[in-house]
Amino acid sequence: MGAKYSLLVSLVLTLCLACPGERQHSERGARESPGMPANSEIVLWAWHGAHDLRFLAKRSKADVPVSVAYLARRIAVGEEGLLVQLRSAPLHVPEGFPLTAVVRLEIASSLPADVLESALPELALHLSTAAAEEGVHILQIDFDAPARLRPQYRELLRDARTSLRGGQHLEMTALASWCLDDLWIDEGLVDGVVPMLFEMGPESAAIRSRLRKLARLPAPLCKDQVGVSTTDLMPPLLGARRVFVFAPGAWSARRLEMVEGALEAGHWTNK
């Protein structure tokens, strides 16, 4: 999420998403819509600030499955070493709730490759520590990777995988281009990739046009998941099995209900 996160945090937190007027709360598995396909899962990105998600315990088996991916730490890598910012705001989830721990890596494209190489053992240790936090089933790494530093990123992903406990999975976020043309992620490095289909820069319109023509993303690791944001136009969801949602401010039962309705409809409506 890189430069996105500072912009999104500063956005007005009163964003409201309108639900379709009369949504059916029963037989959700049989619903048909241009948006999120049936039997998909919503993953709430709990980024900055406090989040009380204990309301998720009240959801019934008939509801759309929901899980949580929380920002565990941010790590900036520079020539002077690592600057680590641990999560300080409280995160409350139902007891025993499965979690995805997200580690955001911020590495300047100008950083010498040998400096990043020397930082890899310390970075791997931080990733391992995040994966060991209570309730974590998935470790997700969020980063931008300039082409010249990709060998080091691949090495870091290999190191991160070896440190996971049995049953844990490794995921990463990706630019849309990494799942369309620039397919540099080798299968086996991670268990899944979440293409972030929002704030895609000056090529946004062209990328959205291409996405509308696709049933699935061409990169195998990108086929089952997408990342969207309530602060940007909703892209085609491409039949994703898991839809990650970013929204500024704290998650609540009401906000989740509005997001769920918007995903079913296939578009956001801001009031």
pLDDT digits (tens, 9 = 90+) for 42-57: 999 999 899 999 999 9
Among 6-10, 165-169, 178-182, the range scoring the smallest mean pLDDT is 6-10
Mean pLDDT computed over 87-104 = 95
Residue 165 has pLDDT above 60, yes or no: yes
The pairing of strands 81-86 and 66-78 is: antiparallel
pLDDT digits (tens, 9 = 90+) for 202-243: 999 999 999 999 989 999 999 999 999 999 999 999 999 999
Q: What is the pLDDT of residue 1?
A: 58
Cβ atoms of 227 and 195 within 8 Å: the answer is: yes
Residue 7 has pLDDT above 60, yes or no: no
Mean pLDDT computed over 141-163 = 92
Distance of alpha carbon 257 from alpha carbon 191, whole angstroms: 29
**Domains (range + CATH), the chain:** 2-8+37-265 (3.20.20)
pLDDT digits (tens, 9 = 90+) for 98-127: 999 999 999 988 999 999 999 999 999 999
Residue type for position 142: D
Which band of pLDDT confidence, cut at 50, 70 and 90, is reported for residue 271? very low
Residue 25 has pLDDT above 60, yes or no: no
pLDDT digits (tens, 9 = 90+) for 183-198: 888 888 999 999 999 9
In this structure, how many other beta carbons lie within 10 angstroms of the beta carbon of residue 166?
Answer: 4
Average pLDDT, the chain: 86
In this structure, how many other beta carbons lie within 10 angstroms of the beta carbon of residue 238?
Answer: 21
Q: What is the pLDDT of residue 270?
A: 57
Q: What is the pLDDT of residue 185?
A: 86
Q: What is the pLDDT of residue 146?
A: 85
Distance of alpha carbon 244 from alpha carbon 41, whole angstroms: 8
In this structure, how many other beta carbons lie within 10 angstroms of the beta carbon of residue 110?
Answer: 8
Q: Which H, E and C letters describe the chain, residue by residue?
A: CHHHHHHHHHCCCCCCECCCCCCCCCCHHHCCCCCCCCCCEEEEEECCCCEECHHHHHCCCCCCCEEEEEEEEEEEEECCEEEEEECCCCEECCCCCCEEEEEEEEECCCCCHHHHHHHHHHHHHHHHHHHCCCCEEEEEEECCCCHHHHHHHHHHHHHHHHCCCCCCEEEEEECHHHHCCCCCCCECCECEEEEECCCCHHHHHHHHHHHHCCCCCCCHHHCCEEEEECCCCCCCCCCCCEEEEECCCCCCHHHHHHHHHHHHHCCCCEC
